Amino acid sequence: MGDLFLVRHGETAWSRSGRHTGSTDVPLTEHGRDEARGLAPLIRSHRLGAAFVSPAQRARETAELIGLHEVRVDADLREWDYGGYEGVTTAEIQRTRPGWFLFTDGVAPGPPDRPGETPEQVGERADRVLARVEAADTGDGVVLVAHGHFLRVLTARRLGLPASAGALFQLATGTLCRLGTEHGRPVIAAWNVRPGS
C-alpha cells in the first residue's frame, strides 16, 4: 500500500466548542473553510491514486476545498456514533460519569437512529475502510477525508493496535497526517500538519 493521507475536516461550531458531533451534519465555519483551503498545496504536493470521503457535509466540503474532485463517498468513514452523547461535551458527560473516557468507556445508548458505538465497532469500520483502501491501491497515495475520533481509531488499527489506542493520537481540525511504512511496517510519517508547519 502507498502512503495513506488522513485529513480531518475543518472547524465547525461544534468542534470549536467541544461538542461530540457524530451524525449531526454541522457545516464548516468560515475558519474551517480557510483551514481546508490551506491544505490544498500540501495535498497537491503528493501523487495520489484515490480519495475517499465521509458522507458528512463538513467532510465533503473539506475535500472539495482542498481540491479533491474525484472522491468516493464511503459510509464507513462517518464519525463515531455517540448515541446519547451526541452534541454533549466531555465536561458535561463527566458531571454524571466522573472519569469517563470515550476510547475505553464508549457511549450511552441513544435513540433507535443513533444507538451508539463501542470502540470495537468503530475499529471494525476502520478495518473495512483499510481493506477497501488496500484493494484500491495503485501504488500512489490514498487520501481519506473524515473525522477526528474515527481517524484516530483508523490510525491505531493501521498500526496494528486496538481501537482504544486511538486515544494516543490527538488530531486537530484542518490538519493532514501521513501513514507510511518503514522496513515494510506501518508507521506515522507526519501528524497534525498545517500549512507552514
For this structure, is 9 an active site residue?
yes
The set of residues, in sequence order, having a beta carbon less than 8 Å from that of 102 and lying 6+ positions away, is 80, 90, 119, 149, 167
Catalytic member of 11, 35, 61, 79:
79
The set of residues, in sequence order, having a beta carbon less than 8 Å from that of 1 and lying 6+ positions away, is 133, 134, 137, 142, 181
Residues 160 and 77: beta-carbon distance below 8 Å: no
CA–CA dist 147, 161 (Å, integer): 19
Residues 110 and 116: beta-carbon distance below 8 Å: yes
Distance of CA 12 to the CA centre of its chain: 14
For this structure, is 117 an active site residue?
no
Catalytic member of 9, 20, 147, 149:
9
Q: What amino acid positions are annotated as catalytic residues?
A: 9, 79
